[in-house]
Amino acid sequence: MAHERTGPRALRWDGRRLHVLDQTVLPAREDWLELSGAQDTAAAIARLAVRGAPLIGIAAGYGLAMEVAALPGLGTLEDGWALLRDARPTAVNLAHAVDRVKAAALAAGPATMAAAARAEAQRIHAEEDAASAEIARRGAERLGGARRLLTICNTGALATGGRGSALAVVLELHARDPGVHVLACETRPLLQGARLTTWELAAAGVPHALVVDGAAPGLIARGEVDAVIVGCDRVALTGDVANKVGTYPLALAAREAGIPFVVAGPTSTIDRALEDGAGIRIEERGPDEVRTAGGALLTLPGVAVRNPAFDVTPAPLITALVTERGIAEPPGRATIGALLA
């Protein structure tokens, strides 16, 4: 198996079909879904069965490859590409991946389109696996000595290739220093921290505690955190970062407390066409994700809801952006430009 490795993993390509762990039912159940084309892959991405910026790029690449394998042709390619690209708006990895697979298929032509698309999807997967290992190494070197870490959402193997982005750095720090301890924000409303990050940390034997999102800034202010480390869904050329909603208050608290606020992610999350964070489209998800938890109603049934899935942290609040190509510190036009050169 091309991407066999130890530890949890979120998806498996068998050469023909994509198998994904349904992240909506973790940790209660470990259900695997078999995906066969653009439609079911886009649906799995939209309902967060598959999630995390790099992982939705990998899955979407395979989704488009499976679509053109079933019926090679320009119409299939164009329709599958559009469907997958629209599945979620904020993480740029999704668009990057399907654009790459489409370009490879177009360059190959009808006779070899399916093979070219599949090869490109596998290349994206392999690149993300390799990026994760480099991010873990570089991030752990940058944050060496930090023992009490705080993170939000899930940025581990369930969200990326390899072992993750921010969580891969945490795992590497723990491998180097068993005294490392993690505060994991629960990440309302879909509880990626409570359900997925604790599951990964427990599997890896990393000591941790779960905190409600609202508690995190106060714990940072009380001196209980050495560094905050988070992932990213889209990075602008100025270094502004979109990530899971609740990230921005952590950055403000870290700045006030004088501790590092570090963002980790592959360069596939940098949007070369985006000047600054004001241009990032923030996904607004449905109201029932906020009105309910685990199927139980938490409020009045018809209460008005705002449910932005992400927020934008301005570059001046970010200490460093750790990528597989190097660290942009402080993140800004010059340092990010150097990474992309």
Nearer to ligand MRU, 72 or 239 (CB): 239
Shortest spacing between CB 192 and ligand MRU, in angstroms: 5
Stretch that binds ligand MRU, among 65-73, 155-163, 202-210, 322-330 (CB under 6 A): 155-163
Is 268 a residue that touches ligand MRU (CB under 6 A)?
A: no
Query: Interface with ligand MRU by CB under 6 A: which range of 74-82, 105-113, 156-164, 209-217?
Result: 156-164
The region of 208-216, 226-234, 248-256, 320-328 touching ligand MRU under the rule CB under 6 A is: 226-234
Residue 274 binds ligand MRU, judged by CB under 6 A: no
The least CB distance from residue 110 to ligand MRU, in Å, is 34
Please state the closest distance from residue 190 (CB atom) to ligand MRU, in A.
Answer: 7
Of the candidate spans 153-161, 169-177, 211-219, 252-260, the one that interacts with ligand MRU by CB under 6 A turns out to be 153-161
Q: Is residue 131 within 8 Å of residue 324, measured between CB atoms?
A: yes
Of 67 and 233, CB closest to ligand MRU = 233
Work out the angle at residue 293's Cα, subtended by the Cα atoms of residues 48 and 151, and round it to the nearest 5 degrees. 60
Give the SS3 label for residue 156: strand
Integer CA distances (angstroms), 331 to 69, 237, 323, in order:
41, 9, 11
Beta bridge partners of 322: 264, 327
**283's tokens:** 């996904």
Q: State whether residue 337 is helix, strand or coil.
A: helix
Site string for ligand MRU, 85-104 (x = CB under 6 A): ------x-------------
Residue by residue, what is the 3-state secondary structure of 240-298?
A: CEEEECCHHHHHHHHHHHCCCEEEECCHHHECCCCCCHHHCCCCECCCHHHHEECCEEC
> Alpha-carbon distance 276 to 67, whole Å?
34
Distance of closest approach, residue 159 Cβ to ligand MRU, in angstroms: 4
Asked whether position 171 contacts ligand MRU by CB under 6 A, the answer is no
Distance CA 336, CA 332 (A): 6
Strand partners, 11: 20
Active centre residues (catalytic): 233
Nearer to ligand MRU, 243 or 267 (CB): 243
Instruction: Name the residue nearer to ligand MRU (CB basis): 253 or 312.
Output: 312
**Among the listed residues 21, 5, 25, 28, the one whose alpha carbon sits nearest the alpha carbon of residue 59:** 21
| Binding to ligand MRU, residues 282-311 (CB under 6 A) | 309
* Minimal distance, residue 12 CB to ligand MRU, in Å: 19
Alpha carbon of 154 to those of 20, 148, 168, 173, 257: distances in Å?
16, 17, 11, 17, 24
Query: How many of the chain's residues bind ligand MRU (CB under 6 A)?
Result: 18
Least spacing, CB of residue 323 vs ligand MRU, in Å: 12
Q: What is the 3-state secondary structure (H, E, C) of 299-330?
A: CCCCCCCCCECEEEECHHHCCEEEECCEEECC
Positions in 25-64 near ligand MRU (CB under 6 A): 51-54
Q: Which residues bind ligand MRU (CB under 6 A)?
A: 51-54, 91, 153, 155, 159-160, 164-165, 192, 231-233, 243-244, 309
